[in-house]
Structure 1
Amino acid sequence: MSEETPVLSLPLIQPSQAQKHVTHNEALMRLDALVQAVVLTRDSISPPSDPDAGECHIVPSAATGVWSGQDHALAYFDGTAWQFLAARPGWRVYVLSDLQTVFWDGSAWTGETASFQNLNGVGIGTNSDSTNRLAVSSEASLLSHDGAGHQLKINKSAAADTASLLFQTGWSGRAEMGTAGDDAFAIKVSADGAAWHTALSFDPGTGLATGDAVQTSATDTSAGRLMRADFGYGPGNVLGAVSESAGVPTGAVIERASTVNGDYIRFADGTQICQFNASLSYISAGLCSAVWTFPAGFVSGSTPQVQGTLNSDSLAASAPSVTVAGLTGMTISGLGATSVTLNVNALASASFGSGESVDLGVLAIGRWY
């Protein structure tokens, strides 16, 4: 007949055994230590100097004193001496100093790890529910990297579903950002949780922005709205081709160019300035004249202002027959949207010679729309 039970190694009373109570009591002491097993420590290498009856410990490696050579055993004090029980794989013991349950895996005491897969819910500082399966009540939450970067992923099943972050006041929505109802990333705000404004929405195909926070037209000057590149002006469109639609500028601020007929500057407000160094040819003894075709036409039906300045330094070479004192100021005729005739007359006391000319700096100011 075996002297011990096969699992807990409890001593068995033998046939015709004297003092059977000793064996019986020893078995009860072992049951007292093993059932609902609790130990004080598992890392003290020296046995306590004044243990209480029933006190139990897991003996660590390299223990000293009466625990020497009992590595990994359960040491319990029966009130008189230390008793040692060799653990079997699967035994579980609660360690008071660690506030943790450990089990013997055959070679070491190992802390139990609960399975956190497919949980119905997790509540940290509060209760989770069927909708909010993860619920956290805390002053802050930290998500950090594990050696490099870190991504927070919010996935939805289809484009028409919602993947967003919702910000609330008193459980009432005040701001939301994400992809709600489509795949365009949007930022929405609300004052009461009922009426919502899409402040910004970014087209997933182009990345371009629309929304209540963006200008609706070139004439939209609502305070707080963001200026669209095509409605506002900056380094990219201050200089370029000016244009308009129904009197509203739609192109650049300033356009400047040159042709064989001179230079012109157009402004977004409709102003146009043309300038040219004109040479008025001999027509008769009393007249030098030239037709100036503007380098850029003015708006149809307009009458731009035309001014001329005599180049007196060149007069001696181009028209030696006359002097500045012998000439009238510049006059014009045939003024239209695309050209003008420039005239300089000689006074009665002077006359032009055949082949002579007069150089003028001319300026025309008007509107291009």
Structure 2
Amino acid sequence: MSQTTPILDLPLIQASQAQKHVTHNEAMAALDALVQLVVADMDRTEPPATPAEGDRHIVGAGATGDWLGKSGQIAALLGGGWVYYSPSAGWRTHVVSLGADAVFDGTDWQPVVGQGPLTTLGLNTSADTTNRLAVSAEATLLTHDGAGHQIKVNKATAADTNSLLFQTNWSGRAEMGCAGEDAWSIKVSADGTAWTTALRVDPATGLVDGAAVQDTANDTTPGRLMRADWGYGPGNLLAPVSMGAGAVPTGGVLERGTTATGNFVKMADGTLICTAEITLTQVASSRIEGTWTFPVSFIDPADLIITSHLDDDSVNDHCTPFVTSLGLRTHLPPSTTAVTFRQYRIAGMSNFASGDYALARVMAVGRWA
């Protein structure tokens, strides 16, 4: 006859055995310890300093002292001493410190998924103390339980990091998130050591900078994104123009305007075109003349190109000599702000009379910067 039971290894009373109560009590103590099994913890490596009768623990890996060599076994304080029970595959216990159950898989105790907080969880791979959740699969699906779904990655302080890291053979190649600050950024690396911030979004303004954005107004590096204030489109082609250091445009491409003395077009390269219609009046019997104040000042009168065209009808209607009697038309040396035009009659033709006048269309081309 066997001396123990096959499942719990409980001692059996033998025929003609003396002091049968000892064997019986030992079996009852084992049942009391193992049935409805609850242990305090499963990571302790040595006995507690002040244990109580009936305390039970799963001995942790690398146990020392009185528990040396008992890792994975159930230690129960019975009758003032530690009694050890070796589990079989499938044994189940509730672990108070975890608030969850654990099952012995034949080699080690494993927390039961879905019950209480787990310290680690590996799905088709091993988790560790750093990567406490590890998944090995072709894809991972996170779907909604209602209308939507959010993934939340929290950090303790602004100087900490919460990000998504993309790796090749366990070496970092791209990272996006808030790395060491609250600004959101995308960083890339060719070797996992040297990193470049491609894009960074300022948390206060929402504006971006980084290696993927123009560094200066005349930065034409291939592949870089154009900044709105340094590029041109329908919204800023026609706008006030201005010039920065190194003759770099800082405003629109074209600026068009009108003042009391004419119209102007300013170009981003510094070109200025002014036009107007002015009146030439009689100042002498031989000529009519008029002074034009430019609607925008030029910077160098020596570079100006100035042209004029008389309105033939106004001459014939308001001047004593007709158009056919007019000769040389000139202008005096201009200043940065004005120029005077003169129209002469041909010698021997009718003189200009007092009150004679004619209209002239005038244009000046030069530079504003």
Q: Give the TM-score of the pair, scaled to structure 2.
A: 0.68
d(CA) in 2 for partners of 1:215, 1:126: 44
- Structure 1 residue 234, shift from structure 2 partner: 1.4
Q: Unpaired runs of 5+ in structure 1?
A: 1-34, 36-91, 93-112
d(CA) in 2 for partners of 1:262, 1:216: 39
Partner of 1:241: 240
Q: Does 2:330 correspond to 1:309? A: no
**Paired amino acid for 1:368:** W
**Paired amino acid for 2:239:** G
Deviations 1:257-282 (A, max 9, x none): 11110000101011111000011110
- C-alpha root-mean-square deviation of aligned residues, in Å? 1.6
Distance 1:156 1:125, change over 3 A: same
- Structure 1 residue 349, shift from structure 2 partner: 2.7
Contact 2:301 2:334 in 1 (8 A): no
Partner of 2:363: 363
- Structure 1 residue 157, shift from structure 2 partner: 0.4
Q: Does 2:149 correspond to 1:162? A: no
Distance 1:301 1:285, change over 3 A: closer
- Structure 1 residue 166, shift from structure 2 partner: 0.3
Contact 1:200 1:213 in 2 (8 A): yes
Deviations 1:205-262 (A, max 9, x none): 0000000000011110000000001111112211111000121111111111111100
- Structure 1 residue 292, shift from structure 2 partner: 0.5
Q: Show structure 1 runs of 4+ deviating over 4 A.
A: none
d(CA) in 1 for partners of 2:192, 2:305: 61
Q: Unpaired runs of 5+ in structure 2?
A: 1-34, 36-91, 93-111
Deviations 1:71-124 (A, max 9, x none): xxxxxxxxxxxxxxxxxxxxx9xxxxxxxxxxxxxxxxxxxx964321011111
Partner of 1:213: 212
- Structure 1 residue 330, shift from structure 2 partner: 2.4
- Structure 1 residue 175, shift from structure 2 partner: 0.3
Distance 1:115 1:224, change over 3 A: closer
**Paired amino acid for 1:288:** I
* 3-state SS in 2 of match to 1:325: helix
d(CA) in 1 for partners of 2:338, 2:126: 85
Partner of 1:288: 288
**Paired amino acid for 2:230:** F
Q: Does 2:348 correspond to 1:353? A: no
**Paired amino acid for 1:327:** L
Contact 2:161 2:179 in 1 (8 A): yes
Greater shift, 347-356 or 131-140, is seen at 347-356
Contact 1:279 1:357 in 2 (8 A): yes
d(CA) in 2 for partners of 1:348, 1:356: 17
Greater shift, 344-353 or 279-288, is seen at 344-353
Q: Does 2:201 correspond to 1:202? A: yes
Please tell me whether Structure 1 or Structure 2 has the larger radius of gyration of its CA atoms. Answer: 1
Contact 1:198 1:211 in 2 (8 A): yes
Distance 1:119 1:302, change over 3 A: farther
Q: Does 2:290 correspond to 1:259? A: no
Contact 1:333 1:341 in 2 (8 A): yes
* 3-state SS in 2 of match to 1:328: strand
- Structure 1 residue 190, shift from structure 2 partner: 0.6
Contact 2:316 2:323 in 1 (8 A): no
* 3-state SS in 2 of match to 1:240: coil
* 3-state SS in 2 of match to 1:297: coil
Deviations 1:166-204 (A, max 9, x none): 000010000000000000000000111111110000000
d(CA) in 2 for partners of 1:330, 1:294: 19
- Structure 1 residue 143, shift from structure 2 partner: 0.5
Distance 1:118 1:215, change over 3 A: same
User: Which aligned pairs between 1:94-173 and structure 2 lie closer than 5 A?
Assistant: 115-173=114-172
Q: Does 2:272 correspond to 1:272? A: yes
* 3-state SS in 2 of match to 1:159: coil
Partner of 2:336: 337
**Paired amino acid for 1:325:** T
